[in-house]
C-alpha cells in the first residue's frame, strides 16, 4: 500500500491538504493534487496514479461525475468519490459510474482508510499474473489467463496457450508451484489444466476445445467438485 500513487481531485485547497495529511498518516506519500477539473485527465496521464480520490462537486454539481465517465471510457484508473452533496439524484448518478467507493464529507479518517484499502486490494486482484519461462537466452512472460493446459514431456513441459505451444525445460511440479490453485488443477501425472478452459468432462477425461485430456482415477471426485453440473 505504501508505494501506491494517489491523485486527489479537490477544488478546495484546504480540504485537499487535509486529505493529503490523512494519506501521509496511512504511509501513502506518493500524492499529487489537482484543484481544477480541466487538469484532471492530463494529471492522470502524467502522474499515472493507482487511485483517484475525486470530489463530485467541482465548480458544478455533476462535474466529478462527468469526469468519472471520461475516466471509465478510457479505462485508466479506479476512483473514489468524495462529496458533501447528499442529494439523491446526484448519488444515483454517482452509483451509475464505476466508482470503487463513495465517501461523504466531513471525511472520517477511518472511512477513508477502509475505502482506500478495499480499492487497492481490488486493483491487486485484477492485475494480470504471469508465468515466466526461459526460451533460449530470453525470458517469456505468459499471462495465466492465456494458458489452457500444460503437458509433461520427459524433461520438458509443453505449455499450450490460446495461440501457440511453448516448450520449456521445466518439470510439471515446477509449473504446478508457479500457478494459482484456484485457477489451475493437476488432473493427471502429465497434465495441468486451466479450469476456466474446460468445456466438458467425463469420469475419465476432460476436453479443452477438441483436445481430450486424461483424468487420473484419484482425481475424478476432485474434478466433479470443481465442475458443478452434469457430466457429458
Q: What are the extents of the domains in the chain?
A: 5-126, 130-226
Q: What does each C-alpha distance from 1 to 7, 27, 83, 118 come to in angstroms?
A: 14, 8, 24, 11
**pLDDT tens digits, residue range 172-216?**
999 998 888 778 889 999 999 998 898 888 878 899 988 999 988
80 phi and psi angles, rounded to 5 deg: -120, 130
CATH 3.40.50.2300 fits 5-126, yes or no: yes
Whole-model pTM over 0.85: no
Fold equal for 5-126 and 130-226: no
Q: Nearest CA to 157 among 131, 196, 138?
A: 131
Give the pLDDT band (50/70/90) at residue 222. Answer: low
> CB of 78 within 8 A of CB of 51?
yes
Superfamily (CATH H level) for 130-226: LytTr DNA-binding domain (2.40.50.1020)
Amino acid at each position: 500500500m505504501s508505494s501506491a500513487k494517489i491523485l486527489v481531485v479537490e477544488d478546495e485547497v484546504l480540504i485537499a491538504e487535509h486529505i493529503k495529511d490523512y494519506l501521509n498518516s496511512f504511509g501513502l506519500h506518493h500524492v499529487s493534487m489537482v484543484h481544477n477539473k480541466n487538469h484532471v485527465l492530463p494529471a492522470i496521464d502524467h502522474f499515472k496514479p493507482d487511485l483517484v480520490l475525486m470530489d463530485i462537486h467541482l465548480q458544478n454539481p455533476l462535474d466529478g461525475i462527468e469526469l468519472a465517465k471520461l475516466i471509465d471510457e478510457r479505462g485508466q484508473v479506479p476512483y473514489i468519490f468524495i462529496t458533501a452533496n447528499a442529494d439523491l439524484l446526484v448519488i444515483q448518478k454517482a452509483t451509475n459510474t464505476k466508482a470503487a467507493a463513495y465517501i461523504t464529507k466531513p471525511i472520517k479518517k477511518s472511512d477513508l482508510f477502509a475505502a482506500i484499502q478495499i480499492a487497492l486490494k481490488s486493483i491487486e486482484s485484477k492485475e494480470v499474473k504471469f508465468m515466466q519461462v526461459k526460451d533460449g537466452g530470453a525470458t517469456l512472460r505468459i499471462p495465466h489467463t492465456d494458458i489452457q493446459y500444460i503437458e509433461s514431456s520427459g524433461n520438458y513441459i509443453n505449455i499450450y496457450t490460446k495461440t501457440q505451444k511453448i516448450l520449456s525445460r521445466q518439470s510439471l511440479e515446477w509449473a504446478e508451484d508457479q500457478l494459482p490453485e484456484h485457477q489451475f488443477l493437476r488432473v493427471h501425472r502429465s497434465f495441468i489444466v486451466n479450469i476456466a478452459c474446460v468445456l466438458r468432462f467425463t469420469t475419465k477425461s476432460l476436453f479443452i476445445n477438441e483436445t481430450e485430456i486424461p483424468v487420473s482415477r484419484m482425481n475424478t471426485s476432485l474434478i466433479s467438485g470443481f465442475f458443478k453440473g452434469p457430466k457429458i
